[in-house]
Structure 1
Amino acid sequence: MLTIIDKYILKKYLATFGVMLGLFAPIGIVIDISEKINKMIENKIPIMEILVYYYHFTIYFMNLLFPIFLFLSVIWFTSKLANDTEIIAILSSGISFTRFLRPFMIGATIVSLIVLLMGFFIVPKSNEGFNNFRYTYLRGDGKETVRGKNTDVFRQLSNDEYIYVNSFDVASKTAYNFTYEKFTKDKLAYKISASRIQWNPKTKNYTMYDYVKRTVGGLDDKIEKSDKKDAKFSFDLDDITPVIYIAETLSLGKLNQFIEKEKKRGSSNINVYKVVLYKKYSIPVSAFILTVIAVAVSSMKRRGGMGLSLAIGIALAFSFVFFDKIFGTLAEKSSFPPLLAVWIPNLVFGILAVFLLRNAKR
């Protein structure tokens, strides 16, 4: 059962975290607008599209910097409790430091559950909206096409099936310069090409434009052409979508299925997808570790006041984010195990949390 002190601290924990998000989210939006305003005006982006984009941007931004916001908020209000000698009064009443931590851990549990559920279902949708807007209007010159040297998509669907597309339109779900090759006993059986191929959600099939099918024969080849042709294929829409950000846009169940499918195909990007998956679990756990560190650092009354505690907190928070990015990139670009890479920051800072907590108890 929660005591009055527990409720008081828990209320401070959640309220300060909420205020911290409310303060920094508008700052992030203003900075983003200042960077992109010229491009938005140049491409004549509808105001509704911009509003929807900044809804997704806010969720993306808060999820990205969640550890920093949480850490700073706990540092802030715990330092205030220490400077007002409230912590001394609480501990002098016979409450142990471990017992004093209980409302903080309850707050961390609440925040972790929210972040976990958002990472499973809400954040992927916002990542999709955020990235779609960027590649449609800000990188695609308003042409609504994901283009660039890294957007070519090659896929081996099975032992004898291959596809290729040059670019992808996220708005109309259309791929350009499509090629499909079917092999039989290591020999090309037929090849299908089209200037573009569009997915039809209602009929669950594809429409190809400037369709050409070349069937390889023993003596001569058979050529079939059509301006427009509907067909069903064994590949999904995800297979012709560039892998620039696809893993970030999938909910937990779809991401697991996607990873299994890519494993069977021997995808070279499998570590990238695994990093995204494992971070869905590691980031919520970091709430507990950062909370313990923040309380241990700021619970002592210092001569420098809140300023010194905040300086230490900012340094530690950015160190955590730095470790997270470094090891995440290491796993994506090398053979370093993704699971280990994602959890190393939590392990390192978890050890630091235990060390600081022992000193704080003294």
Structure 2
Amino acid sequence: FSENGEEFAAISFRKMDFRDITDSPFDLMKARYDLTQMNLTALKNYISTLKKAGLDATEALVEFQTRFSFPFINFVILIFALPIAASMRGHGRAYGFGIAVALSFIYWNILQVFKVLGEVGRLKPLLAAWTPNGLFLIVGLYLMVKVHR
């Protein structure tokens, strides 16, 4: 027994064969890295390694998909913000800046909620990464039609 009261067994051997382990020590060390710090190639390889080992790669898949959806935020926010800016012509720059900061904060929080939903498996990684863009784009297009009338 160990000091904690757990049972353990000691096996003595002269030589042990690890043919079943195909991962290199470098592959095993990747688990310590932060997914947000990996480049796309490393992230893709990490996902492949997890899948080969039979481990859950959901969190890494969400991060991978988010890397592709994130650059479209600029376009989506532009479509969303243009009708709002057009309808607030009488207000000052500070007011417009405040609205922009508020919209960015709302978008960022929605993005984080969907990322977490994807990471815990409630949404598929593709949906978790792209739904916030889709929601804001739909609302932005609706506002454009409404302001245009």
Q: What is the letter of the counterpart of residue 13 of structure 2?
A: K
Higher relative contact order (CA 8 A, sep 6+): 2
Q: 1:240 aligns with which of 7, 15, 29?
A: 29
CA distance in 1, matches of 2:39, 2:30: 16
Q: 2:42 aligns with which of 250, 254, 257?
A: 254
* Structure 1 position 277 matched with structure 2 position 64: yes
Greater strand proportion: 1
Question: What CA RMSD, in Å, does the superposition of the two structures yield over aligned residues?
Answer: 2.4
Q: What is the letter of the counterpart of residue 128 of structure 2?
A: A
* Structure 1 position 267 matched with structure 2 position 58: no
Residues 335 and 359 (structure 1), Cα distance of their counterparts in 2 relative to 1, 3 Å cut: closer
Q: Which residue of 1 aligns with 2:133?
A: 346
**Under a length normalisation based on structure 2, what TM-score does the superposition of the two structures give?**
0.76
Can you give the 5+ residue segments of structure 2 that lack an aligned partner in the other structure?
A: 1-9, 16-20
Can you give the 5+ residue segments of structure 1 that lack an aligned partner in the other structure?
A: 1-213, 225-232
- Superposition pairs of residues 6-85 of structure 1, within 5 angstroms: none
Q: In percent, how many aligned pairs have the same letter? A: 24
Contact 2:119 2:125 in 1 (8 A): yes
Greater helix proportion: 2
Q: What is the letter of the counterpart of residue 222 of structure 1?
A: F
SS of the counterpart of 2:89? coil
- Superposition pairs of residues 105-254 of structure 1, within 5 angstroms: 221-223=12-14, 234-236=22-24, 237-243=26-32, 245=34, 247-254=35-42
SS of the counterpart of 2:131? helix
Q: 2:101 aligns with which of 297, 314, 333?
A: 314
* Structure 1 position 330 matched with structure 2 position 121: no
Q: Which residue of 2 aligns with 1:358?
A: 145
CA distance in 2, matches of 1:241, 1:261: 10
**Under a length normalisation based on structure 1, what TM-score does the superposition of the two structures give?**
0.34
Contact 2:27 2:49 in 1 (8 A): no
SS of the counterpart of 2:14? strand
CA distance in 2, matches of 1:333, 1:279: 15
Deviations 1:256-285 (A, max 9, x none): 2221221122213x1110111001110111
CA distance in 2, matches of 1:238, 1:295: 47
Q: Which residue of 1 aligns with 2:3?
A: none
Q: What is the letter of the counterpart of residue 239 of structure 1?
A: L
